[in-house]
């Protein structure tokens, strides 16, 4: 009988990938800007052309979300991400400051270990590969176990396109034998120089604990405040569409509506017109029990599911036309599980009196589980919009747009990315949308602007210290004095 140790196989594959990546990176270091751009464009095109097939594969393997929406995310992560970085210089001299006589030279990070999630598996692979290779790094993908096949296929599509366009073999790789020890071995390997982690809190903590540079981003608990000055029809349409998009598997999706009291009833009606189904207290308790374990952890069987699926899990009845479920809530915290992040089609609902109360409720949600991530506001009063921007400890304040598509940069001007930094508030090194600029360093050639001060050029004026003879004489005198005292 043959005994197979899956962990050992995974560890060995991680080592082999790291070695091959390092060899490829050494060759890629000498690529020209034309080489880099040709290879990346080929990868982006191949990924875009495979967007529908990979979206279907991701849906079938994970059971999360909507295949058509995953296609849209794949198209975004290939074409939109590439378009946003195509003109960025990443080879050789990339900038010159003639006034200060500084010349900036791009230098890659080296070999990237990229941890990818099960919720957006293929699109995250695409974005990370493009931004890493554009900066002249190699990359090894370590996918979530429940999305191993679709992540591997996405990486293979891009690796083949890269090699056909002239990239060295091994520049883009993906681990196929997934295990926690294997992923840990990859992150700790001596040839890995940067960890790029997207996923849940445990994954991000693991990435930061290795002792290497890490760009780790975790969960969001995104509040959406709707002010009395808002365009209510637009707000209702966007909130329902955003929460139902891919069944809420993007971490910037709306988690609770915070409605200004004068417009709350109208907003509720408009959301119902868009397919939001509001549940009463008892069904809400059943939903809560179905979505979360007693310790607050989310039930993975509920992630990325339709309202009808969730209703069956909870044992409640809802209309077939419902696009999302909305549960009225009164507090934020562990005693109210539905105030947590919910990567599925359930939305919380709060009513407040005025924007100041809306601001405070938003802060409660952010502190409870979304530090540094995202806040959404629907309003036309610019003073209130600015107040939210100044006060919230988050790095994306989205104004009058969808949370899911606004935060990643599809409907806003932020950099297109599937990896959203949460900054110091959220335990990340940056609050940016992670893109090519985070994947290389800049060397600086610094020429003299000013002659050094004259004093800096003079020899030291300090008197010479005591000689060994001086020290010996001082010791003898102390000893002699002690003997006399006896």
Domain with 203 in it: what CATH number?
A: 3.40.605.10
pLDDT tens digits for range 70-121: 999 999 999 999 999 999 999 999 999 999 999 999 999 999 999 999 999 9
Which stretch of DSSP H or E encloses residue 287? helix 281-291
* 94 inside domain: yes
Model pLDDT, residue 415: 95
Model pLDDT, residue 199: 74
* 182 inside domain: yes
Rounded CA-CA distance 439/196 in Å is 10
Instruction: Write the DSSP assignment of 31-75 as a string of letters.
Output: --HHHHHHHHHHHHHHHHHTHHHHHHHHHHHH--S-HHHHHHHHH
- The SS3 of residue 133 is helix
251 is catalytic: yes
* 414 inside domain: no
Model pLDDT, residue 208: 75
- Tell me: do 375 and 391 sit in the same domain: yes
- Tell me: do 247 and 173 sit in the same domain: no
Domain that holds residue 275: 222-409
Residue 485: pLDDT band by 50, 70, 90 thresholds? low
CA distances from 341 to 30, 88, 115, 338, 475 (A): 45, 35, 21, 8, 72
Find the distance separating the first CA and the last CA of the chain, reported in whole Å.
87
pLDDT tens digits for range 9-55: 999 999 999 999 999 999 999 999 999 999 999 999 999 999 999 99
Identify the CA nearest to 225 among candidates 45, 36, 353, 94. Answer: 353
**Which DSSP symbol is given to 304?**
T
The proportion of the chain whose per-residue pLDDT surpasses 90, expressed as a percent, equals 81
Determine contact, residues 332/339, Cβ cutoff 8 Å: yes
pLDDT tens digits for range 316-364: 999 999 999 999 999 999 999 999 999 999 999 999 999 999 999 999 9
Residues 6+ apart with CB under 8 A from 340: 221, 255, 292, 296, 298, 368, 369
Residue 210: pLDDT band by 50, 70, 90 thresholds? confident
pLDDT tens digits for range 4-18: 688 899 999 999 999
Kindly name the residue from 40, 150, 251, 359 that is annotated as catalytic: 251
Structure tokens at 466: 């005591």
* 463 inside domain: no
Rounded CA-CA distance 117/114 in Å is 10
What's the chain's length in residues? 486
- Tell me: do 298 and 188 sit in the same domain: no
Residue 130: pLDDT band by 50, 70, 90 thresholds? very high
Structure tokens at 244: 């139902």
Considering only residues 476 and 255, tell me which one the structure prediction assigns the higher pLDDT.
255
Model pLDDT, residue 1: 55
Q: What is the mean pLDDT of the chain?
A: 93
Model pLDDT, residue 483: 66
Identify the CA nearest to 247 among candidates 420, 411, 404, 61. Answer: 404
pLDDT tens digits for range 236-275: 999 999 999 999 999 899 999 999 999 999 999 999 999 9
Instruction: Write the DSSP assignment of 283-321 as a string of letters.
Output: HHHHHHHHHB-TTS-B-GGGTT--HHHHHHHHT----TT
Determine contact, residues 152/457, Cβ cutoff 8 Å: no
Considering only residues 266 and 370, tell me which one the structure prediction assigns the higher pLDDT.
266
**Which DSSP symbol is given to 208?**
H
How many domains does the chain fold into?
2
Structure tokens at 410: 């599809």
* Pairing, β 92-97 against β 102-108: antiparallel
Determine contact, residues 369/362, Cβ cutoff 8 Å: no
Structure tokens at 341: 């992040």
pLDDT tens digits for range 378-421: 999 999 999 999 888 888 999 999 999 999 999 999 999 999 98
- Tell me: do 152 and 234 sit in the same domain: no
Considering only residues 238 and 218, tell me which one the structure prediction assigns the higher pLDDT.
238
Model pLDDT, residue 463: 62
Residue 214 has pLDDT above 60, yes or no: yes
Considering only residues 479 and 439, tell me which one the structure prediction assigns the higher pLDDT.
439
- Tell me: do 35 and 171 sit in the same domain: yes
Question: Would the CA dihedral through 397, 400, 403, 407 be positive or negative?
Answer: negative
> Which CATH number fits the domain that encloses residue 328?
3.40.309.10
Which stretch of DSSP H or E encloses residue 13? helix 6-28
- The SS3 of residue 327 is strand
- Tell me: do 59 and 45 sit in the same domain: yes
* 479 inside domain: no
- Tell me: do 263 and 385 sit in the same domain: yes
- Tell me: do 198 and 228 sit in the same domain: no
* 429 inside domain: no
Rounded CA-CA distance 157/149 in Å is 12
- Tell me: do 235 and 167 sit in the same domain: no
Model pLDDT, residue 401: 97
- Tell me: do 127 and 228 sit in the same domain: no
Identify the CA nearest to 274 among candidates 358, 222, 347. Answer: 347
- Tell me: do 260 and 196 sit in the same domain: no
- Tell me: do 187 and 246 sit in the same domain: no
Model pLDDT, residue 356: 95
Model pLDDT, residue 480: 67
* 124 inside domain: yes
* 430 inside domain: no
Structure tokens at 3: 């005994």
């Amino acid at each position: 009988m043959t005994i197979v140790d899956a962990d050992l196989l995974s560890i060995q594959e991680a080592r082999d990938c790291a070695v091959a990546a390092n060899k490829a990176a050494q060759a890629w270091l000498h690529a020209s800007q034309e080489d880099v751009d040709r290879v990346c464009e080929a990868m982006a095109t191949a990924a875009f052309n495979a967007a529908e097939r990979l979206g279907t594969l991701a849906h079938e393997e994970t059971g999360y979300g909507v295949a058509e929406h995953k296609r849209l995310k794949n198209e975004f992560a290939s074409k939109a991400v590439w378009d946003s970085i195509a003109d960025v210089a990443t080879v050789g001299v990339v900038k010159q400051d003639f006034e200060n006589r500084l010349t900036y030279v791009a230098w890659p990070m080296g070999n990237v270990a990229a941890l990818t999630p099960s919720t957006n598996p293929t699109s995250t692979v695409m974005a990370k590969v493009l931004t890493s290779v554009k900066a002249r790094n190699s990359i090894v993908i370590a996918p979530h176990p429940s999305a191993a096949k679709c992540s591997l296929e996405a990486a293979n599509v891009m690796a083949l396109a890269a090699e056909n366009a002239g990239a060295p073999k091994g520049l883009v790789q993906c681990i196929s034998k997934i295990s926690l020890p294997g992923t840990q071995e990859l992150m700790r390997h001596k040839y890995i120089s940067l960890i790029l982690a997207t996923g849940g809190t445990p994954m991000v903590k693991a990435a930061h604990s290795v002792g290497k540079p890490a760009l780790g981003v975790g969960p969001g608990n995104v509040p959406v405040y709707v002010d009395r000055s808002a365009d209510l029809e637009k707000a209702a349409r966007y909130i329902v569409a955003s929460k139902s998009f891919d069944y809420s598997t993007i971490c910037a999706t709306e988690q609770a509506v915070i409605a200004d009291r004068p417009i709350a009833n109208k907003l509720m009606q408009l959301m119902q017109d868009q397919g939001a189904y509001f549940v009463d207290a008892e069904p809400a308790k059943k939903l809560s029990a179905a979505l979360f374990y007693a310790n607050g952890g989310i039930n993975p069987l509920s992630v990325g599911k339709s309202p009808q699926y969730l209703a069956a899990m909870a044992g409640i009845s809802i209309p077939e036309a419902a696009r999302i479920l909305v549960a009225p809530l009164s507090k934020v915290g562990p005693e109210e599980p539905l105030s947590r992040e919910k990567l599925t089609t359930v939305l919380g609902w709060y009513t407040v009196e005025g924007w100041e109360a809306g601001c405070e409720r938003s802060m409660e949600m952010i502190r409870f589980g979304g530090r540094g991530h995202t806040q959404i506001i629907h309003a036309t009063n610019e003073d209130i919009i600015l107040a939210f921007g100044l006060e919230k400890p988050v790095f994306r304040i989205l104004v009058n747009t969808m949370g899911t598509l606004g935060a990643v940069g599809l409907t806003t001007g932020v950099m297109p990315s599937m990896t959203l930094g949460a900054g110091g508030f959220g335990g990340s090194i940056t609050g940016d949308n992670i893109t090519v600029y985070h994947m290389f360093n800049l060397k600086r050639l610094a020429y003299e602007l000013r002659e050094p001060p004259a004093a800096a050029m003079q020899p030291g004026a300090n008197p010479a210290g005591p000689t060994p003879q001086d020290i010996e004489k001082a010791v003898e005198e102390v000893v002699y004095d002690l003997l006399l005292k006896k």
